[in-house]
C-alpha cells in the first residue's frame, strides 16, 4: 500500500544539515555550518563531546584520528591540543573529482563558537545538539550544555532566539535534559536495534522520534504511528534522492542530511 502523509504542523519538513553541509565540507567545521546556512538549511546538527579540560567541542568520533591530522581520544586531550590540529584538510583525501571540498586548514569548533555564530546569524537556524557519551561522561555533558545554553539565554524559547533541540540515543541522557532544561526540545534517537521498543509511541518526556532512515524505509508507517501519538519524526541521515522522496511522501517533520542543498531543492520543488 502507498503510504502518504504530511508533517504534523502542516508546512514543509525542516531541512537539517547533519554536521553542517558535510558532504562537501569537512564536518563540524564553522565553514561547513556557514555553507549549510547559505544553502538554506533550517537547522544545524552537531555532536558534542567533552575535552579533558571540560570544554564542549563539536566532534563526532571518540578519537580525533578520522577528522583531523592528530591522534588520540577527544576526552583525553585538552582544548589547546585540539586547537593545534588541522580539522579541514583530511576531507580532500575522501573527495571524488566532481566535488569541490574545502581543502584548507580548519580549526576545531567549540559548541560555544557554534552557538555564538547561530545567535549572530540573520536567519537563526535551529540548533540540534547530540550529546555523546552519556555513560562515559556521567551526565557532565548535559550539565555543561545546560550551563552554556543558560549563558546565551537559550533555556527557554522566545522571539529572536534560535530553537534548540537536544538529541540522544540514550534515554538516560534525555531524562537528564528533561530535568535540567524542561523547556528545551528533546529528540529520542532510534537505531534499527532499538526500533521495536518505540514502535508504539515514545518514552515519557520526549515528543520527537529520531529514527535512522533504514527504519523508515523498511517501515514507512512508523511516521503515521508516531504522528498518531502527536510526536514529530526527524529522520537521519537522508542523502539519497529516493529516500528524500520517500520522506516527502510520508510526511516526516524534519530531514537530517549531509546534503542540505539537495534536500532544500527537493523540499522546495515538492
Ligand atoms: O542526527 C542523528 C545522527 O547524527 C545520529 O548518528 O552517528 O551520525 O551521530 P551519528
Ligand atoms: Ca549526530
pLDDT of 43-66, one tens digit each?
Answer: 999 999 999 999 999 999 999 999
Q: In this predicted structure, what is the pLDDT of residue 99? A: 57
Tell me the average pLDDT of the chain. Answer: 92
Q: Which residue from 18, 59, 169 has its CB within 8 A of the most atoms of ligand 1, so it is best to mutate?
A: 18
155-164, 173-182, 194-203, 238-247: which has the minimum mean pLDDT?
Answer: 194-203
- Written as nine digits, the cell of 251 is 510526511
Residue 228: active-site member: no
pLDDT at residue 96 is higher than 50: yes
The arithmetic mean of pLDDT across residues 19-27, rounded, is 96
Ligand nearest to the CA of 238: 1
Identified catalytic residue from 23, 60, 133, 227:
60
Q: In this predicted structure, what is the pLDDT of residue 1? A: 45
> What one-character DSSP code corresponds to residue 91?
G
Range 14-61+110-269 classified under CATH 3.75.10.20: no
CB neighbour list of residue 124: distance below 8 Å, 6 or more residues apart: 118, 160, 161, 162
The arithmetic mean of pLDDT across residues 101-118, rounded, is 88
Lining residues, ligand 1, CB within 6 Å: 18, 45, 47, 60, 130, 189, 210, 236, 256
With 0.90 as the threshold, say if the pTM is over it: yes
Q: Which residue from 22, 47, 127, 167 has its CB within 8 A of the most atoms of ligand 1, so it is best to mutate?
A: 47
Q: In this predicted structure, what is the pLDDT of residue 234? A: 98
Angle at 64 between CA 60 and CA 69, to 5 degrees: 130
CB neighbour list of residue 89: distance below 8 Å, 6 or more residues apart: 26, 69, 103, 104, 105, 106
Residue 18: active-site member: yes
The arithmetic mean of pLDDT across residues 112-139, rounded, is 91
CB neighbour list of residue 74: distance below 8 Å, 6 or more residues apart: 49, 50, 51, 57, 59, 61, 62, 63, 64, 82
pLDDT at residue 160 is higher than 50: yes
Identified catalytic residue from 18, 28, 133, 234:
18
pLDDT at residue 267 is higher than 50: yes
Amino acid at each position: 500500500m502507498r503510504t502518504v502523509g504530511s508533517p504534523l504542523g502542516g508546512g514543509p519538513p525542516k531541512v537539517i544539515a547533519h554536521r553542517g553541509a558535510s558532504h562537501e565540507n569537512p564536518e563540524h567545521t564553522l565553514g561547513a555550518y556557514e555553507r549549510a546556512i547559505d544553502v538554506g538549511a533550517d537547522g544545524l546538527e552537531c555532536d558534542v563531546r567533552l575535552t579533558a579540560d571540560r570544554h564542549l567541542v563539536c566532534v563526532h568520533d571518540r578519537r580525533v584520528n578520522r577528522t583531523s591530522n592528530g591522534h588520540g581520544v577527544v576526552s583525553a586531550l585538552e582544548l589547546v591540543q585540539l586547537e593545534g590540529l588541522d580539522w579541514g584538510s583530511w576531507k580532500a583525501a575522501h573527495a571524488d573529482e566532481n566535488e569541490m571540498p574545502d581543502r584548507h586548514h580548519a580549526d576545531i569548533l567549540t559548541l560555544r563558537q557554534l552557538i555564538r555564530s547561530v545567535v549572530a546569524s540573520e536567519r537563526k537556524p535551529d540548533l540540534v545538539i547530540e550529546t555523546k557519551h552519556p555513560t562515559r561522561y556521567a551526565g557532565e555533558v548535559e550539565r555543561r550544555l545546560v550551563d552554556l545554553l543558560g549563558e546565551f539565554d537559550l533555556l527557554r524559547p522566545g522571539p529572536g532566539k534560535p530553537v534548540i533541540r537536544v538529541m540522544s540515543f540514550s534515554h538516560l541522557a534525555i531524562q537528564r535534559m528533561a530535568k535540567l532544561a524542561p523547556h528545551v526540545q528533546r529528540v529520542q534517537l532510534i537505531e534499527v536495534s532499538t526500533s521495536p521498543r518505540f514502535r508504539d509511541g515514545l518514552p515519557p518526556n520526549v515528543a520527537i522520534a529520531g529514527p535512522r532512515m533504514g527504519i523508515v524505509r523498511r517501515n514507512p508507517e512508523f511516521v503515521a504511528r508516531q504522528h498518531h501519538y502527536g510526536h514529530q519524526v526527524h529522520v537521519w541521515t537522508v542523502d539519497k534522492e529516493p529516500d528524500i522522496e520517500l520522506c516527502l511522501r510520508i510526511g516526516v517533520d524534519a530531514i537530517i542530511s549531509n546534503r542540505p542543498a539537495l534536500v532544500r531543492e527537493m523540499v522546495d520543488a515538492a
